[in-house]
Amino acid sequence: MKDAIKVAVIYCSATGHFADIAGEIVETAEKAGAEVRLRKVRGPAPEDAIESNPAWAANAAATADVPVASVEDIVWADAVLMGSPTRFGNISAQLKQFIDTLGGAWRKGELADKVYSGFTSTGSLHGGNESTLPALMQSFHHFGGIVVAPGFTHPDKFADGNPYGTAHHDAGGSAPVGDITRNAARVQAERVVTLARAVSTVSDGSR
């Protein structure tokens, strides 16, 4: 059995809400005994556009030390949690662009048999969170991944209200990440680590 489950947390964030959710997932996964890599995908806009937007610039400065996600981060991991804001009911172009770089690893079978899970955020209360997460899961299915959704397996998920993954309502960027979202992220991270550990145990025992 492996000493520690390896978890990659990969997110796209313009204003920092996703960095907050990802941080909560990282902390919870580490407390559950996982080795974690926190990674961001490349920014939402050219550098001059980021500098001209105070919220974007502040987030870029706050997350400057977070490495940019690479294919190797996915290959390394036993479990992957990906986060993307909703863009017209789908994932962001930035996260999609990163996913599109995984073709070589997919052809080698290096994306298969890992646990995958997703999280999202919307500007309006129901602005696509229940379509964005299943859309993200389509890629996980193509990978041959084991898709782990939190479901309504914990009281905190009834408050969050999304069985597919953690979903934050940021009210157009004005609502910070609060306890409801943080609690949902903890539930999801714990479930991912628990099930990834179970999968790892079975895989090791079959060798």
The pLDDT confidence band at residue 123, using thresholds 50, 70 and 90, is confident
We report the CATH number of the domain holding residue 32 as 3.40.50.360
Tokens of residue 205, six digits: 């025992």
- Based on its alpha-carbon atoms, the radius of gyration of the chain, rounded to whole angstroms, reads 16
Instruction: Of 24-28, 63-67, 123-127, 151-155, give the lowest mean pLDDT range.
Output: 123-127
- Establish if 91 belongs to a structural domain: yes
Dump the DSSP string for 121-137: EESSTTSSHHHHHHHHH
Closest CA to 186 of 19, 41, 30: 30
The pLDDT confidence band at residue 55, using thresholds 50, 70 and 90, is low
* HSE-up (13 A, CA, CB side) for residue 1: 9
Instruction: Of 26-40, 43-57, 154-168, give the lowest mean pLDDT range.
Output: 43-57
Average pLDDT of span 76-88: 93
**Residue 31 belongs to domain spanning:** 6-205
- Establish if 73 belongs to a structural domain: yes
- The neighbouring-strand residues paired with 85 are 121
Average pLDDT of span 27-38: 97
The pLDDT confidence band at residue 89, using thresholds 50, 70 and 90, is confident
Average pLDDT over all residues of the chain: 87
Helices (H), the chain: 17-31, 47-52, 54-62, 71-76, 93-99, 103-107, 129-143, 155-160, 179-205
**Exposed/middle/buried for 178, CB within 10 Å: 0-12, 13-18, 19+?**
exposed
Q: Is pLDDT of 98 > 60?
A: yes
Query: Among residues of the chain, what percentage have pLDDT more than 70?
Result: 85
- Establish if 103 belongs to a structural domain: yes
State the pLDDT at residue 1: 42
**Helices 179-205 and 17-31: crossing angle, nearest 10°?**
50
Q: Please count the structural domains in the chain.
A: 1
- Establish if 1 belongs to a structural domain: no
Closest CA to 15 of 43, 41, 46, 47: 43
pLDDT tens-place string over residues 145-170: 999 999 999 999 999 889 999 998 87
Q: What is the pTM assigned to this prediction?
A: 0.90
